[in-house]
Amino acid sequence: MSLVLVSLLPMIGLAQNPIVQTYFTADPAPMVHNGRVYVYTSHDEDETVDNFFTMYDWRCYSSADMVNWTDHGAVASLNDFVWSGKTNGAWAPQCIERNGKFYLYVPIHGDGVAVLVADSPTGPFHDPLGKRLIDGENIWHDIDPTVMIDDDGQAYLYWGNPVLSYVKLNEDMISYDRSIGKNGIVGIEMTPEAFGSQEGRDGKKRASYTEGPWIYKRDKLYYLIYAAAGIPEYIAYSTSPTAEGPWTYQGFIMERADHLAFTNHAGVVDFKNNSYFFYHDQALSEGQGFKRSVSVEQFEYNADGTIPLILPTKE
Ligand code: FUB
């Protein structure tokens, strides 16, 4: 990335897409706290190693007006996990607040889903467990955690590629109820009715869900937004009357566009009476899929709660 751009914009991004123009960022996860929206991102390094995702830390940006953005820097990194041997793989994060503590759920690709805790949204974060959070059987696929706290206080953590699983987090947010599912992990049935349809290599129909889930509740409806249909990815969504399903496929939210990357990854939030759809593209690197850039679109829900098709704008 151009050093000129970095030095021109040391702290503030501009109210245009991509919203972060000083680093390559991806996998945006917005969180509203105290009148600001915080956006946690993964970070594509300027130098791509072995033609694959090259990602060492997680960054945070915040804004009170969706126009002026403060860069809080790299708030966490792979170095925070001394038990993990990984030097690459800081993939898609999400942060949530509970009882004054901030829990940052992250995948370390190849080492599974882990959690960090802080007293402020921007850290310093520390590792409360000294090991991964999720005892999955296929930690290679244990990526992209998304978290919500339901109205009754029950917290859910979903994750996974190419299938979805969830755990019911205990109130401490760093352990989970082991009495359900398989040692606490509940697998979601991945049907085309629930998650859209695509044709597998064997010619059979299978769910189009791929990765990057984002779960939240709005009014009485639960939404699961995700990247679908493999490469290139589209953003689609499903809804459910409960946090545990059954999910019903609702359709695409963001289709392909030339400046989008082969991956996409969404985060949705309501902030100051507007709804925002965060995602990533490859506009800043002018077409390099391992050097992505976080962008955002404002949108309005339809009267029945469905989400309209959202166009990825360049500005
Ligand atoms: O950023 C690395 C991976 O690419 C994420 O975990 C996926 O969701 C995709 O965006």
State which amino acid sits at residue 81.
Answer: F
What pLDDT is stored for residue 163 in this prediction?
Answer: 95
In whole angstroms, give the CA distance from residue 147 to residue 63: 22
Q: Which residues fall within 8 angstroms of residue 287, CB to CB, at 6 or more apart?
A: 259
From ligand 1's centre to the CA of 109, what distance in Å? 10
What pLDDT is stored for residue 13 in this prediction?
Answer: 39
What pLDDT is stored for residue 23 in this prediction?
Answer: 98
- pTM for this one? 0.95
What pLDDT is stored for residue 15 in this prediction?
Answer: 53
Atom 3 in ligand 1: residue holding the nearest Cα:
91
From ligand 1's centre to the CA of 26, what distance in Å? 7
What confidence tens digit (pLDDT) does each residue in 228-274 have? 998 899 999 999 999 999 999 999 999 998 899 999 999 999 999 99
What pLDDT is stored for residue 12 in this prediction?
Answer: 41
In whole angstroms, give the CA distance from residue 201 to residue 134: 30
What pLDDT is stored for residue 3 in this prediction?
Answer: 31
In whole angstroms, give the CA distance from residue 3 to residue 8: 8
Strand partners, 270: 275
What is the mean pLDDT of each successive set of 10 residues along the chain, which is 315 residues long? 34 68 98 98 97 98 97 98 96 98 98 98 98 92 98 98 97 98 97 93 90 97 95 96 98 93 97 98 95 98 98 88
The length of the chain is 315
What pLDDT is stored for residue 246 in this prediction?
Answer: 98
Please choose from 265, 288, 293, 295 the residue to mutate so as to test ligand 1's pocket, defined by most ligand atoms within 8 A of CB. 265
What pLDDT is stored for residue 145 in this prediction?
Answer: 98
Residue 259 region by backbone torsions, left for phi larger than 0, else alpha for psi between -120 and 50, else beta: alpha
Atom 2 in ligand 1: residue holding the nearest Cα:
91
Q: Which helix (H) or strand (E) holds 29?
A: strand 24-33
What is this model's ipTM?
Answer: 0.98
What pLDDT is stored for residue 90 in this prediction?
Answer: 98
Q: Cα torsion for 138, 96, 279, 59, to the nearest 10°?
A: -90
